[in-house]
Amino acid sequence: MSVTFIDLFAGIGGFHAAGASFDWKCVFANEIDPAAASVYELNWEKPALGNIHDFTRNNRKKSIPKHDVLFAGFPCQPFSKSGKQLGMEEDRGSLFHDIAYILEKHKPSMVVLENVRNIAGPRHAHEWNYIIAKLRTLGYRVSSKPFVVSPHKIPPSYGGTPQARERVFIVGTRLPSKNHRLKNDDTPLKFPTDFDRWDSDEWDLFKDLPLQENTPAIKMKYRITNDEIELLNAWDNLVREMLAHREGLRLPGFPLWSDLWGKKPIYEKDRKAPDWKKDFEAKNEQFYDEHKKVINSWFSNFPVVRQVNPSKRKLEWQAQNMKSLWEGLIHFRPSGIRVKRPNYVPALVAITQTTIIGPYKRRITPIEAARLQGLSDNFSFGNQSDVLSYKQLGNGVAVSAVYQVIKAAVERDSEILSKTNAELLKSVRKAPKSNSKITKEPLKIKEIS
């Protein structure tokens, strides 16, 4: 008999991919966004389109079938740093109550929830404590200690991918009785010791993702604009000038803000300005004083730096000993142009901050972004726009993270599951250590042109 699962707030199916890796059967999926639902249907099956309230609240029109595992990456905006952080005061935050309703009615053996790391932060202590207490009241063993997982912390041999995407997982295993001795047990989940020996700095994006070959068609479609290249060439000139003839010099870790160079202080005498802004300004003033001749010449030779919007007049150098901006990974962020080593990328987001691959002078493709989320090379977005695909991936869950979280939870709770759901226990224990179905294509890295 197959283990069954339901996939709530399903998106394009990251949870489904993890469940399918254990040969589990999806008996119900729900997604409110029509575009995401179309992609889900293309790759998995047709989800129930619409609001989860239709299945859980007093006016419910439909029912949810019985299942063994409940997956839910419930909407993170109420808890995200990029949102208003209203938590359960916002209706989307109250969607946890719909999850609780389903758990109470169907009593699945396991529940796996995912959200942004901020949900376990001090600002949302009330919500966090409520969720943990509610799951325990419903009869689940769940730790109150946040279990933070990122795919770049998982070795490639275990299906990890080079993306720094920290998310909190809340995993509950149903106890045989509500007064079980483990009801309030706080034993946290943990990964195998192999994970502890993995150094995430060992990732090599060009080798480990892998990237698609930079064919003329891909290069044309995803190449950055001439204006972007002009601006990045300007900043690259400053980086090269600073590093090439100054033995042992490393660019500072604080953001370089060209608007502060050679100008009167903005924050120094402002009593309302926070100390970090004053410190930031003082460091930039010192940097300018130490390199005044080079910087003034740079301003004269590259007037474009003065002409672009403010966020592009800042440089955040996180590339350590790299000699050129074009050797690394580049991101246009509201806080500035960030450059880092090409080991792993920052978290995919549902807005336009797509990683630029320096040597290729292009952005990552949707296929590469899907690989970063651990989706197989057979995954398809159909004919939809890349903008929608990037957004859906940015809202998605990393498949390898879900897969390894399930294995860790089953290992911790094997004694419980041997009594409550032996089939679930068996299916996970016989599964391979890695869920990865990404094809390792041969990669040809071309010279920067």
> Annotated active-site positions, please?
76
CB 251 within 8 A of CB 283: no
Selection from 161, 226, 206, 173 nearest residue 373 by Cα: 161
Q: Residue 261 in 3-state DSSP?
A: coil
Selection from 379, 21, 426 nearest residue 5 by Cα: 21
Residue 213: DSSP 8-state: P
The pair of three-digit structure tokens given for residue 67, joined into one six-digit string: 């299942």
CB 222 within 8 A of CB 365: yes
How far apart are alpha carbons 199 and 50 in whole angstroms? Answer: 42
Which positions ≥6 away from 289 have C-beta within 8 Å?
A: none
Outline where 72-173 has alpha helix (H).
Answer: 96-106, 125-137
Half-sphere CA count of 316, side-chain side, radius 13 A: 14
Cα–Cα–Cα angle for 331, 35, 216, rounded to 5 degrees: 50
The pair of three-digit structure tokens given for residue 84, joined into one six-digit string: 């208003």
CB 151 within 8 A of CB 396: no
